[in-house]
Chain A
Amino acid sequence: MDLSLILTNLLYGVTIGSALILIASGLSLTFGVMGVLNFAHGGLCMLGAYFGYTLVQVTGNFWLAMILAPLIVAGIGILMESFTIRPLYGLNPLYQLLLTVGLAMIIANAVLLFWGGDQLAITLPVYFKGYFHFWGVDYPRFRLFVLLFSAAIAVVLWITISRTKWGIVIRAGMHDLETVNAFGINIYRVFTIVFAIGAGLAALAGVIIGSMRAINPEMDFELLTSALLVVVIGGMGSFRGAVVGSLLLGITDAFGAQFFTGAAKFSVWVLMVVVLLFRPEGLIKED
């Protein structure tokens, strides 16, 4: 295996991983703050891809899709949170989880109803087509954009969580809801906003992923699985865990596909089992 092959896989893995950060951090954030493991998260991501597709089809503007699709899905997220998840706060968290299973089914079928079961693809602007060549590596331009864009979003997110007043409220919410409430902050509004951000991030990743590969109504569980794997490997409810887990998963997947063609997906499961055996709480434990 020569250097260019290693570099190609590494770049590919990091690119996929960086898009995964957007999905996994949303999932991890809602879990960390609200205690809700959202099984409809993959569905929200898929909705982002489909809305992105339609918006590009209708307006011909990729950037409009990148802005509007996440906003629409964030709006759907707000509706989901206020009408279905909120009534269940205070009950066993498993009820919320099971509810999101029902929501995932509804989303999957709504997609099938409106867009049909065919494979679709988002058309990219001309300037994203083509490759960069260096050290024998062909790196698609769009992938470089994905890498930089996702990294930028992740940095903004990290700064928001670690440096701003909002971030303090969110982190405090993870630790002690009652105290936050006692300080006069409406924790339910925080929940709604966090859920909307999670949904929007998932949709943003949906548009990006939908531009790199085919969109189909089966992708929701695939994406959910990847995001959940990331969260389990990285550590539940931890933003740093989501970043580390995403990159690790992306790279493992890329190299796995290189080494074991045909059984491409197995390497990530091996990774999960290994992490579980030695660190059941994930690689990074937030304190």
Chain B
Amino acid sequence: MKGRLTFFIVLAVLTAFPLGANILYSSFYVSLLTRIFIYALIVVGFDLLAGYTGMISYGHALFFGTGAYLTGMILKHWTPWFWPPLLLTVLASAVVAYIIGYLSIRTREIYFVFLTFAFSQFFFVTANTLEFVGASNGLSGVPKPIIFPGLNLSGENSFYYFTLVCLIAGYLLARLITRSAFGRVMVGVRENEERTKFLGYDTRKTILRVFVVSGIYGGLAGALLAAFNSFVSPNLYHPAISGEIIMMALLGGMGTLIGPMIGSGLVIILGDILSSWLAESWMMILGAIFAAVILFSPGGVMAIGRRIGERLRKGRDHGHP
């Protein structure tokens, strides 16, 4: 009950947020939040795979890039409508995820991390070489897409609301998945794959399905990013982006859906503040924070929050016997 209340309060605040732009704060924050929503979407998808089934992919930026390039190319050369590229992105991400997932999930743990890394490097090299997607210059001049007749996403606010809706839909779907029977099998794979297998579940198929779902989340986030930035860079495939995705999930707390979304916000806001102080070396500080979280609080922000909550509750119990 309390969780639902918090959810609606956060939702109300986020819905009202653009109304205060240019009055209470600069409209820059609207676009900052939009960027957070986009990253949160891919990170929630990543968390389904890494947090719930325990398979850490170090190539998740691959889906970002796939969705972004596909959408960028379609919007630029074919149609200004957003639906065809979104639909095709879902299909393409699913196919790509199926192939890469099929090859990668023959392995586990560290080997899996490496294979996903290797595949994303392959895409990175490809995007940097292929002339028709702009090679290392990337794809610029991607037009703002139209979603309904008369409504295109050129305005900051319209894009904000569209991504917010996508994120909420993504979150609710992820919640549905993790709370279903299938979600319990996912956790079973993470906790003890052997036992789950003995119980009669095809764990490989489970992981492959989650991988595909996770890839679709990433592809859609990439599609949004391409339209939002009006630009697609081969650096979307860079391992640093995959690292950032892992970092967001871990910082927030893997295996919870809310945590990774908070983590996306933290990393992007932190990056924004730090980069204005330290120019390019902000990633160094972020790397150090990341290392510190792993060393001192592997559960991320959610675990810290839970610990504080427990202590408060205990304190209250002592105060009122």
Contacts and interface: CB of A to CB of B under 8 A. Distances in A.
Contacts of B294: 88, 95, 98-99, 102
A159 interface: no
A225 B123 CA distance: 13
Contacts of B125: 265-266, 269
B110 A97 contact: yes
A272 B118 contact: yes
Interface stretch (A124-132, A134-142, A228-236): A228-236
A97 B109 CA distance: 10
Interface residues of B, number: 38
B227 interface: no
A265 B118 contact: no
B103 A105 contact: no
Nearest to A101: B243
A93 B103 CA distance: 22
Interface stretch (B64-72, B90-98, B279-287, B310-318): B279-287
Interface stretch (A55-63, A65-73, A193-201, A273-281): A273-281
A99 B296 CA distance: 11
Contact of B290 (A93, A101, A266): A101
A105 B284 contact: yes
A158 interface: no
A263 B129 contact: yes
Interface stretch (A14-22, A107-115, A205-213): A107-115
A232 B103 CA distance: 13
A16 B280 CA distance: 32
Contacts of A99: 291, 294-295
B58 A94 contact: no
B142 interface: no
Contacts of B284: 105-106, 109-110, 113
A277 B109 contact: no
Contacts of A88: 294-295
Contacts of A236: 111
Nearest to A265: B125
Contacts of A269: 118, 122, 125
Say what secondary structure dominates the interface of chain B: helix
Given A106-B291, A109-B287, A95 B113 contact: no
B268 to A, nearest CB: 16
Given A109-B280, A112-B281, A269-B122, A98 B115 contact: no
B114 interface: yes
Contact of A265 (B110, B129, B288): B129
B31 interface: no
Nearest to A110: B284
Interface in B243-293: 243, 246-247, 250, 280-284, 286-288, 290-291
Given A37-B110, A102-B291, A229 B280 contact: no
Most buried by A among B240, B282, B287: B287
Contact of B129 (A98, A108, A110, A262): A262
Contact of A221 (B107, B121, B287): B121
A181 interface: no
Nearest to A108: B283
Interface of A: 31, 37, 39, 84, 87-88, 91, 93-95, 97-99, 101-106, 108-110, 112-113, 117, 221, 225, 228-229, 231-232, 236, 262-263, 265-266, 269, 272-273, 276-277, 280
Given A97-B110, A225-B117, A232-B118, 15 more contacts: A31-B110, A37-B110, A37-B114, A95-B294, A97-B56, A99-B294, A101-B243, A103-B287, A106-B291, A110-B281, A112-B280, A113-B280, A236-B111, A265-B129, A276-B103
9 contacts: A94-B56, A97-B56, A98-B56, A102-B294, A103-B291, A106-B287, A109-B284, A112-B280, A112-B281
